[in-house]
Structure 1
Amino acid sequence: MRTWIVVLLWACMHLSVDAISLSRGPVRRKIKELEEGKHKGTEALRRSKRGWMWKQFFLQEEYTGADYQYIGKLHSDVDKGDGTVMYVLAGEGAGTIFVIDANSGDLHATRTLDREEKPFYSLRAQAVSKKNGLPLEPETEFIVKLHDINDNEPKFDKEVYTASVPERSHIGTYVTQVTAQDADDEMFGLSAKLTYSISQGHPYFSVEPNTGIIRTALGPSDMDREQREHYQVVIEAKDMAGQKGGLTGTTTVNISLTDVNDNPPRFTKSIYQFNVPELTEVGKPVSTVRAVDADVGRNAEMDYTVVGGDGLDVFDIITDTKTQEGILTVKKPLDYEKKKSYTLQIQVQNTHPDPRFLSLNDKEMATVRISVEDVDEPPQFEKSSYIFKVKEDTAVGTFIGSVSAVDPDIQRSPVKYTIDRHTDVDWIFGIYAGNGSIFLKKTLDREEFPWHNISVIATEFNDPQQSSRVPVYIRVLDVNDNPPKLASFYETFVCENAKAGQKIQTISAVDRDDPAGGHRFFFNLAPESSVRANFSVRDNGDNTAGILTRRSGFARMHKNTHLVHLVISDGELPIQSSTGTLTIRVCTCDRDGNMEMCNAEALTSTAGLSTGALVAILLCILILLLIVVLFAALKRQKKKEPLIISKEDVRDNVVSYNDEGGGEEDTQAFDIGALRHPEVMEDNKLRRDILPSESLYPPPPLRRTVIPSRDNADVREFINQRVQENDGNPTAPPYDSLATYAYEGNGSVAESLSSLGSISSDGKQDYNYLSEWGPRFRKLADMYGGEDSDWDS
């Protein structure tokens, strides 16, 4: 690190040039040149007047004295010492951090300063006159720079570092790097020159002094994770290049050794001993072996194998990936009576060996001894299943086949046989308990059940709990015991204009039997057939036959139906045959042989409607009839209800008009009497509000039917009840509605609007039609107020 030496030269402005030592050659030559230039008339160099004698001041940081720290003296050459010059300070910290004596120009710092906080300050000074305050010289800037001292210790980037390095690493293997910083001035002295050292972690690790790089310091044999995995290393950083008196900072580095596969797995035992029951299922685990590996993770994964022994083909071993244990399993069934013990040689090794440590990963061997335990076993059948064949016409009691089972144990307990009746619910087969012979108990029918699957149970006499079962499959062989029949019901017709030898139908047959060589059917007319002269049968040789006409011309009116009897036989022994009847209709056809007309029976048959189809059609018709009936009933219910539903719901309305309308003619349209008694409505209704002109038409004789006055008891009782109810509750609205209307009084130009006044004043008007309602109106007047005379009018 470079060393900077700063020398401060400070001179007072009143020193004369004569007092300066001129011992230096360059200074003497300079003065001589100035003097020579003064005496010459040529242009000479002249010394410019300096108003200030300084450019920079230095101040030490972290000053701890009681008084203000003296920085230097400011002085101008215009100051003659007579007290007329005053010094003024401005700039960073002027008046607070830095103060100046106005008379003498002495500069001081008022408090301790920290270079790391601010390394220098820029200030301005000026000399002014005390008399008028005017500046005597221009303002000049200078700098106060802080001298650094070693007051900051190194600080690391992290308080704790974490690192790792593989175990078995060679000396000098890189681990990690630590870095520290020093806030002091690295350009001044050695305050920021750092040196790294290790104070804790020897002798396993080392650190480079200048870089802070940490490396391993021991060889592979000493850096073993299985011996020690974690290390804590303390690193120091010291300034002043490590010299005495420097400041120190520390950090901690936690270093872990990562695992490498440098250890082989080892069995916990050299010999393992197990007992295995002889009835252990194939593939089922019987026991486990364990090996341990000092490594961890992927390096501790291992594989187990069976490499030798007399049980190499009987047992196998697999690895449990979670526990890293070896699981022994059975590959073949065990039999205590045949072999009672086995010996295995097993091996374990790492799944992912490290090539660098193959010499350490030698294969580990162990011995496994397995003893087979005797178990009371159930009887064992000679076969896993049995298949027997029997003809369907075999007689009851006939022997079909036998099964055999023995007790595999040394005792050889006797065995009895039974049939599982859940598999033979009809008790078709039987079995002899002593020897396992199966016989027939019921007749067989191949066409119904071609196979019978039953189970036979073998049980020890001495221990009924020990039993086993075996499936027995019995195939029923076919016997020709079913005759062939027509394949379907044929609907056949012949045209009246048919020609001789014309084929009118192709028929085929079916047979429930299943001969080994396939079916072969033969078709012939029955000997007793009466239509031999009309139709013939031609066997096609492929289990089909054609029906042919033997003559020309058939008369539908003469005979519309012919019955043809056919004999169908098979080719197996014993030969089976049956007779079928073919119905042939006679129909009228066109020239191309297309049917045009048949008799009613033929049409019904040709339609091909079966009994089910006819039933479906009838059901549809019934459903449609029900829909029609329901629709009519609903329509009747929707009819308008009559005006008066019951005797209790009677509402009398008095209707009149406030317009010059139709008068009595209109009033009659709302005549309650007509609504209550429509049978007494007048046949001829005349408008009483319009009188015919006598000059044009002679008045016809006035004829009226006198309506007898009848006192309706129901109406009267109804009104009385409503009057009593309203008298008891004056706040309730009246049940009967009363409409009052305005009318033009006696002084009206239009005169009265009443239809009563439209007739001449001779008083011949008949008012008998009001006789029935007069008493009722008077009762309404009692309810709502008013005089009877008002209602009568």
Structure 2
Amino acid sequence: MPNRFELQILVYDTAGAKDLQILTIQVLDENEPPVFQGNIANQTVVIYILEGTPSGPIYKVNVNDPEKATSTEIMYSLTPESLPFNISTTGTIYSLKEFDYEKDPSSYTLSITARDSLGLSTSRIVMVSIINTNDERPYFTMEKRAFSILEESTPGSVVTANITVEDPDGAGFIHSRRFSINNPQAFPNFAIDPVSGTVLVAKQIDRDASDFREGLNISLILRVVDSPDGTRSDTAEIVISIEDVNDSPPECTRYNYRLTIAESESPGSVFLNLKNFCEDIDAESPNNLFNFTGLSGVGSSKFSQDPPGSGEIKLIGNVDLENGTLEEYTLNIVVQDIAPPYYAKNIYIYIKIQPVNEFEPVFSSSSYVFNVSETTAGGSLIGYVNAADKDIPSTGITYSIMAGGGTKDITEIFWIDPTKGNVKIVAKLDYDETETPMYFTVQASDNEGGTAVASVTVNVLPANDEPPICSPNSYLLEVPVDQAVGTNIAGFAIECTDLDSSPRSFRYSINSGNVNNHFTFSPSAGSNVSRLLLAFPFDYEGGLDRIWEYRLLIFVTDDNLPTTNIQTGTVTLTIQVIPNPTTVVPTTPGITIVTRRENVYSAQAWYVPFIISLGVLLLLGLLGYLIFLLAKYIRTHCPPKPKADKKPLIKKPEKKKPKKEVVWELTNINTVFDGEARDPVTGKWYEYNSKSGARRWKDTNMPSKLEAKAPVVHVGTPAKTSDSRQENLSKTEGKTSGGNQGESKQKTPKPSEKKTEVSDLNSHQQKPKQEGALSKGSSPKV
């Protein structure tokens, strides 16, 4: 921007007078340090170099200087200087040597400093990692080169297991190493495990066969390679000697002889020489020597072996039928080895022809190959073997597994149906943990001891049964509302691994939560690391965007195998959009523009009015219930004023009772007492109101008016007199009969007498009943 401004200030009054003045503003420049651009600006850059790569440029540092307008020059430096790296004046980092992973360090840490001409500088870290490559030749290291094995060893038997090989490239390339035999066609009886180098018996070796009868030692050339092109390899020669064992019993062309002898045959004639029909095929003596045991059976008295052990059968008795001899004879003789383990076989001689078991079971193939997916469930059928017996009638065949067929966890992982030959797996096979192919030997046996064997190879096929696992699998991010499109949000990236998939087989997709498609992943496929980018800008002012927090559900799938086996991993991200803070922008003097952003109601927040309405209804219901409880309490504890009970409290006394009660009812109408009378019980004077009947005790210090005139005498029967006191008393009694102010009762001494008892009661005094006083509020009783 311009660094100099000239402002013309014009001032004038209402009369038209003017004046002009020029104000010059000079903007001064301040030096700022250089700024690194790209990934190195906010993270440590890791550079990978394959060993054997020639020296040269490996990385270009991009630095921006805010003072470039002044043509400042940026200088670069690299520390420590002792490392085999250098940096040019343009920011390019060079390697100064060709690295050897086996001799040089595997990683280097470089500090890159960018300094401008005024001395301000910025530094960043760059790490260089040397990647090991397969560039060294493996070589055999075993000392023993001569081995021996017994003939007739079953297929799968180990000839030697101590084949050792060293590789200078280290343990990282052990799994790529493969073993082989240089000329396998010339030695089909042997095989080698391509992974472990163990030499095995591939076919049963018969020392007595013509191929091995003369040659006792076999020379094998073993070869090991550690790369697919086979250029880095080594060979070693081993010698295998085959030891002869007495594994073959004497074999005879026939074991059952059916002869017809004329009854006129003379004793002493030789009719059968067994040596002409038997031999032992073992290669060396005494394994190939045999003889015959004594003759036995029905008719043995008529026949003999002469000389003993020679196998010549002679007739020594008379077989004439007219002499009562038997028509049928069964003779038994045994042919047996003279060396351990003394194999023996029986020979039967019949006068009549008898069938014999001559054949052993034979498999339809000497070897079987089964392919099994690692997802195949335990108990599943993976194949079958079949053997036949030419004997008629057939004696029946039983199948069994002789050797092999185990893993490190399960010794017998295969099962064979003993009658049908169906082969099943006991448990699932894991391609990642199981050595493949797997080998085992099956045997078919008949009921008379005949056997046959066949080898079975099981190839475990890989399947995509492991889902991708990503780190981190959940994360909280914050992004400014004015984030630029295409920017890596908060530098976030996910890294995924899969046990059975290539890193290039991953695909990334946002399943839900990506409102308005603001976010995307780059790369979206083909890598195990992907970064989160902003695809579209936010638009809250225009009303396009309304939410400030995004919850993304990320699907990570692998598609290296058929689509039916695709596995999916998930990652959850919470992204909070940070709005711009309130800003103050200065304009002309005295005016301030204030910008403020407020959140508005979102349609997605439907639950807010719902919760408010529900809360209001609950409060109104609670208020109504409280009013009901208050009304119930007032009705219970504050009853209405009771009405006067006009029903007599006591019944009228029966005529037969001698006692009566006189009850006075007094009503306090006013406080003027215009009459006096004496209480007949206590003898005290009281005052009364002649209209209302109200009474009170008279002050003893004041003399009574009636007492001054004449005493009052009460008798049982009132006298006929015009005494004014009696009349007043009667009037008072009549007027107070309906009152409800007090009550007094006194028992009469005699039934024939009537005595008046008076109790004075005003609204403020009470006397005990035994004194004849009336209580306020009580009812008179008669």
TM range (shorter): under 0.3
Select the structure of larger CA radius of gyration: 1
